[in-house]
Amino acid sequence: MRVIVVNGPNMNLLGVREPDIYGTQTLGDLEAEIRAKARELGCEVVIYQTNHEGDLLDFLHREAPGSTGVVLNPASFTYQSYALFDCLNALAVPVVEVHISNLYSREERWRVNSITAAAARGVIMGLGFHGYLAAMEYLCDRDQ
């Protein structure tokens, strides 16, 4: 089993960016938790973060085929990227969209308009880093 974990724009600023919303843990902390969960589940994990839409699409085109599935935090691409939506729809593996915060409790409801969610098997939000781990459990433990 091989799970792909992808983080979109500004996720590299975790721990610094809006700590009242995203907490004080860093992207490195998140990656350490993901790697520990992968060991526990007995699966391989590939982790990637980018601030560039085209790089994200190229990575998914290259790495998703043959994987068990994708855990994706599209970050701001959630609300604007039809290209990412099309990419996710083209993948032959399940995608679980993850958000650290609860989008429904954020800015004037514009954050609840996820373009990418319709291409995902499921969406987990508001559980902090635990959402990534729950998504990994789903992808690694489900009947293939």
Q: Which residues are catalytic?
A: 22, 99
One-letter amino acid for residue 56 of the chain? L
Looking at residue 23, the DSSP 8-state letter turns out to be -
Quick check: 96 and 135 in contact, CB under 8 A?
yes
Class of residue 70 by CB neighbours under 10 A (exposed 0-12, middle 13-18, buried 19+): buried
Quick check: 22 and 98 in contact, CB under 8 A?
no
